[in-house]
Amino acid sequence: MADSADVVIVGAGPVGASLALALRASELSVAVVEARAPETTPTDPRPLALSHGSRLILGRLGVWGRLEPRTPIEAIHVSQQGGFGRVTLTAHEAGLPALGFVVSYAALAGELGRALRASAGRYETSARVVRVHGSPSAVTVEFERSGTIHAISAKLLVVADGGAVEGIARVKTHDYRQVALTAVATAELPHRNVAYERFTPEGPLALLPYGENLAVIWSCNPAAAQRLCQMHEREFLCELHRHFGDRLGRLTAAGSRIRYPLVLRYASEVVSERVVLVGNAAQTLHPVAGQGFNLGLRDAWELAGELVRCPPGETGSGAMLAAYRARRLLDRKGGTWFTDALVRVFSNDIPPLRLARGVGLAALDCAPPAKRFLVRRMTFGARG
């Protein structure tokens, strides 16, 4: 006979861990199933841009004060290579203490993991999900550990691990034919807590304030990314300067370079009978504008709110899941459309589009109400 819980969360990455932490003060029994071993320490070196809205959520979860290092973003400068027009978004204009913060993904995952392990909830590690089957009243998750199959029955299954979606939901994909290259670079001039988003014909190039340095997130075609990774440091810095320009003076150093493919993945439907998808199980976005993780964290926070608000007997019911789906629909579709449109419209060098982009950027820079509207949506989501 299977063990039981009110909610089973598959995936203890930052989104799954955040959901579990958001539910720890509730009366719901929660079990987390994670494929990684308990002693695994997150090592992903990628920088992560957190919105001010995400910073507020992490504060409510009790992990923000322990998250170091973190670098505030006080302004965002957006421009296009080879064309006129630019826009600057500032925290002051938006009435916020900061537009966001840049942190290490590994540091964030580590702090959330420590908080999850310290909570009183059930935490199954080294547990690979092998089967999910359900009924109108419950869903059962079977997982394998050390050659033995275990099972947990629950009122609701939350899938927060994109790798566990296969067989649970239909997922659509779009290959951008781009690779993201990440590195940490040093510039001659201080960044003054300004984040730069530079659109080039090959793809977006972001330089984010990261301590005293800059986090580079450079999207380009796979062949170019491989060539950039193989370059000598001096050659790489020259190529980066050629695409970015002189805004921060000479680029003087760059650390190791890592690359990963960029694909848009999104579930056709995020809810089904007794099952809901959140985070990168629901959608995996292009890193342009830094919306992916922030969208996933809002998934977790709003799902936790829905679970706490619903009557005890309604956990995982059709009515509860329909309410969650309706609440998240605009934010999820809006965030996906926004990032996808930015990549498609800006990753080219078509003269009419380049002209239209320049006019659009210049017009936005002259319209403070439109800038405040855009910042609020990027900060708090479509409902912000």
Give the pLDDT confidence of 57-112 residue by residue, as tens digits: 999 999 999 999 999 999 999 999 988 999 999 999 999 999 999 999 999 999 99
Q: Is the pLDDT of residue 164 over 90?
A: no
- Band of residue 384 on the pLDDT scale cut at 50, 70, 90: low
137 within a domain of the structure (yes/no):
yes
Q: Is the pLDDT of residue 246 over 80?
A: yes
Residue type for 307, please? L
Secondary structure (DSSP) of 63-123: -GGG--SEEEE-EEEEEETTS--EEEEEHHHHT-S-SEEEEEHHHHHHHHHHHHHHSSSEE
246 within a domain of the structure (yes/no):
no
Number of structural domains (the chain) is: 1
Q: Which of 51-55, 131-135, 148-152 has the lowest mean pLDDT?
A: 131-135
- Lookup result for tokens 């659109």: 199
- Band of residue 2 on the pLDDT scale cut at 50, 70, 90: low
27 within a domain of the structure (yes/no):
yes
Give the pLDDT confidence of 194-213 residue by residue, as tens digits: 999 999 999 999 999 999 99
What percent of the chain lies above the pLDDT cut of 70? 99
Q: Is the pLDDT of residue 276 over 50?
A: yes
- In sequence order, what are the beta bridge partners of 32? 9, 123
118 within a domain of the structure (yes/no):
yes
Count of C-beta atoms within a 10 Å radius of residue 289: 21
Rounded to an integer, the average pLDDT of 230-249 is: 96
Secondary structure (DSSP) of 324-358: HHHHHHHHHHHHHHHHHHHHHHHSS--HHHHHHHH
241 within a domain of the structure (yes/no):
no
User: Among candidates 89, 86, 347, 341, which has minimal Cα distance to 199?
Assistant: 347
Q: Is the pLDDT of residue 383 over 80?
A: no
Q: Is the pLDDT of residue 234 over 90?
A: yes
Average pLDDT of the chain to the nearest whole number: 94
Rounded to an integer, the average pLDDT of 162-184 is: 90
15 backbone dihedrals φ, ψ, rounded to 5°: -75, -45
The residues, ordered by sequence, that sit 6+ positions from 107 with a Cβ below 8 Å of its Cβ are: 67, 68, 69
Domain of 128, CATH number, reads 3.50.50.60
Q: Which of 272-276, 326-330, 378-382 has the lowest mean pLDDT?
A: 378-382
Give the pLDDT of residue 382: 82
Tokens of 33: 């199933």
Q: Is the pLDDT of residue 175 over 80?
A: yes
Rounded to an integer, the average pLDDT of 361-381 is: 95
330 within a domain of the structure (yes/no):
yes
- Band of residue 165 on the pLDDT scale cut at 50, 70, 90: confident
Give the pLDDT of residue 82: 87
- Band of residue 264 on the pLDDT scale cut at 50, 70, 90: very high
Give the pLDDT confidence of 286-344 residue by residue, as tens digits: 999 999 999 999 999 999 999 999 998 999 999 999 999 999 999 999 999 999 999 99
Domain holding 65, by residue range, is 3-69+105-171+266-346
- Band of residue 1 on the pLDDT scale cut at 50, 70, 90: very low
- The region, left, alpha or beta by phi > 0 then psi within -120 to 50, assigned to residue 192 is left
Rounded to an integer, the average pLDDT of 224-247 is: 96
Rounded to an integer, the average pLDDT of 153-161 is: 96
310 within a domain of the structure (yes/no):
yes
Q: Is the pLDDT of residue 39 over 80?
A: no
CA dist 82 and 201 (Å) reads 9
297 within a domain of the structure (yes/no):
yes
